[in-house]
C-alpha cells in the first residue's frame, strides 16, 4: 500500500501564527486582534473537519426549526458553526459577538478591546450538495458606548476581516488593512500556512455572477448591464462573457479573488428584496474590506459599501463586488444616461430569460 505523500513544500511556508506574532508585536489592540483570529482559526478547523464527514457525520443539512434571526432557513450546521465560533471567542479578548444566527448582539467581556461580527456558515443551502460553503468574519475595535457603537459603524473602520472557505481544501482569505492574504489549512498540523501575500484581483475578466432566474424582477440598470454582456462580440462590450452562480457569497468572492470577475446581488422588485438581501454588518462589509484591499471594488450599485453605516444588526444591502472596472461600470448604468438601453415597444416586457 502506498504511503501518504509528504507535501514538503508546505513545511517551508510561514504559518499565520508566526506572521501574527510578528505583526502584533507589543501593541495591545493588534495582540487582541491576533488572538481573536487564531481562536477563529481553531473553530474553522473543527467546522472543516465536521463538513469533511458529510452525511457520515449526521444530518448536517437538516432544518432545525424555522428561520434564523436574519430570516433564512436554519440548518443543523448553521447552529453548529455558530456554537463553535462563539465558544472559541469566549476564550478570546472579545467584548461583543454579533451573528447571523442570533437576534441580538451578545456581550462576552465588555472590557475587551475588540468586537466580532460573523456569518458562521454562508451558503448553507449547498451543504447537502457538497458545494463549497464558508464562514465570514469582521473585527472592530471596541469603543465606549457599548455593542452598537462598536459594531454599527462604517466598514472602513474594521481592524480585520476575512472568510474561511470549506471546499476540496480549507482556505482563509484575510486582511489586516495592509493588503489581502491567502492561507490554506495544513491538514497535519491544523495550522494555516501562507499561499500568497498581497492577493490582487485582476482588473479585466470575462466572468460575472448573478441569479438570472430573477431577471424579470430586476430594475433597468441591472437588466441593461446583463443584456449588454450577453450580446457578446456583437454587443457594446465586444467580447464574450461567462455567467456563474453558486448561491454562496464565500464561493463567489473566492472565485473573484482567484481569477477576477464581478458578483451582483442587487435589490429588485420582489417583496422583501427592495433593500437587497445580503446583510451589511457581517457579509457585505467584511467582503468589501477584503476586496478593496485586493484592488477591487464593492458598492450597493452606486455607493461604496465601506462608507455605509448600519442601523440594525441584520440590515440588508444590495451588493456589487469584484474587479474594479466591472464594479465601476455597473455604477454607470445607474448614473450615466448614455448607458441606458432603449427597448423596442414590441419587446418592452421581454428579455433573454423570458419566454
SS3 210: coil
283 is catalytic: yes
227 is catalytic: no
230 is catalytic: no
Is 322 annotated in a binding site? The answer is no
Q: Which of 100, 181, 252, 268 is catalytic?
A: 100
Is 123 annotated in a binding site? The answer is yes
Is 145 annotated in a binding site? The answer is no
Q: Which of 35, 78, 181, 227 is catalytic?
A: 78
Tally of CB atoms within 10 A around 55? 11
6 is catalytic: no
Is 126 annotated in a binding site? The answer is no
121 is catalytic: yes
252 is catalytic: no
Is 211 annotated in a binding site? The answer is yes
Is 172 annotated in a binding site? The answer is no
4 is catalytic: no
Q: Which of 181, 283, 292, 300 is catalytic?
A: 283
Is 124 annotated in a binding site? The answer is yes
Residue 139: closest CA among 121, 114, 164: 114
72 is catalytic: yes
C-alpha cell recorded at residue 14: 510561514
Within 13 Å and on the Cβ side, how many CA atoms surround 246? 22
Q: Which of 101, 181, 227, 252 is catalytic?
A: 101
Q: Which of 84, 121, 290, 313 is catalytic?
A: 121
Is 100 annotated in a binding site? The answer is yes
Chain centre distance of CA 165: 10
H helix runs in 195-339, sequence order: 220-230, 249-259, 285-293, 324-335
Buried b (16+ CB within 10 A) or exposed e, 28-48: eebbbbbbbbbbbbbbbbbbb
> Where is the binding site, in residues?
100, 119, 121-125, 211, 283
Query: Any idea which residues carry the catalytic annotation?
Result: 72, 78, 100-101, 119, 121-122, 283
> Where is the binding site for substrate, in residues?
122-125, 211
> Where is the binding site for Mg(2+), in residues?
100, 119, 121-122, 283
Amino acid at each position: 500500500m502506498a504511503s501518504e505523500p509528504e507535501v514538503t513544500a508546505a513545511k517551508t511556508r510561514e504559518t499565520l501564527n508566526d506572521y501574527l506574532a510578528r505583526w502584533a508585536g507589543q501593541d495591545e489592540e493588534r495582540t487582541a486582534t491576533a488572538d481573536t483570529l487564531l481562536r477563529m482559526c481553531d473553530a474553522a478547523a473543527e467546522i472543516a473537519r465536521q463538513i469533511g464527514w458529510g452525511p457520515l457525520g449526521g444530518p448536517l443539512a437538516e432544518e432545525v426549526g424555522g428561520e434564523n434571526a436574519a430570516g433564512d432557513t436554519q440548518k443543523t450546521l448553521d447552529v453548529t458553526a455558530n456554537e463553535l465560533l462563539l465558544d472559541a471567542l469566549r476564550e478570546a479578548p472579545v467584548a461583543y459577538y454579533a451573528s447571523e444566527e442570533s437576534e441580538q448582539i451578545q456581550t462576552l467581556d465588555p472590557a475587551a478591546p475588540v468586537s466580532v461580527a460573523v456569518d458562521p456558515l454562508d451558503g448553507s443551502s449547498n451543504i447537502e450538495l457538497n458545494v463549497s460553503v464558508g464562514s465570514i468574519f469582521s473585527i472592530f475595535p471596541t469603543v465606549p458606548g457599548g455593542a452598537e457603537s462598536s459594531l454599527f459603524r462604517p466598514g472602513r473602520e474594521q481592524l480585520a476581516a476575512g472568510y474561511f472557505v470549506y471546499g476540496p481544501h480549507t482556505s482563509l482569505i484575510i486582511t489586516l488593512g495592509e493588503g489581502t492574504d491567502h492561507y490554506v489549512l495544513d491538514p497535519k498540523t491544523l495550522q494555516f500556512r501562507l499561499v500568497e501575500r498581497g492577493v490582487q484581483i485582476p482588473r479585466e475578466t470575462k466572468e460575472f455572477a448573478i441569479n438570472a432566474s430573477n431577471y424579470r424582477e430586476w430594475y433597468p440598470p441591472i437588466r441593461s448591464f446583463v443584456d449588454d454582456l450577453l450580446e457578446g462580440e456583437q454587443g457594446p462590450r465586444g467580447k464574450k462573457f461567462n455567467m456563474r452562480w453558486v448561491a454562496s457569497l464565500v464561493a463567489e468572492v473566492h472565485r473573484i479573488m482567484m481569477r477576477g470577475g464581478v458578483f451582483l446581488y442587487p435589490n429588485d422588485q420582489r417583496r422583501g428584496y427592495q433593500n437587497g438581501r445580503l446583510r451589511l454588518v457581517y457579509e457585505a462589509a467584511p467582503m468589501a474590506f477584503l476586496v478593496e484591499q485586493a484592488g477591487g471594488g464593492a458598492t450597493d450599485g452606486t455607493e461604496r459599501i465601506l462608507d455605509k453605516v448600519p442601523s440594525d444588526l441584520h440590515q440588508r444591502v444590495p451588493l456589487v463586488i469584484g474587479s474594479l472596472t466591472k464594479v465601476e461600470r455597473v455604477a454607470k448604468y445607474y448614473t450615466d444616461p448614455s448607458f441606458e438601453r432603449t427597448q423596442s415597444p414590441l419587446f418592452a416586457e421581454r428579455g433573454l430569460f423570458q419566454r
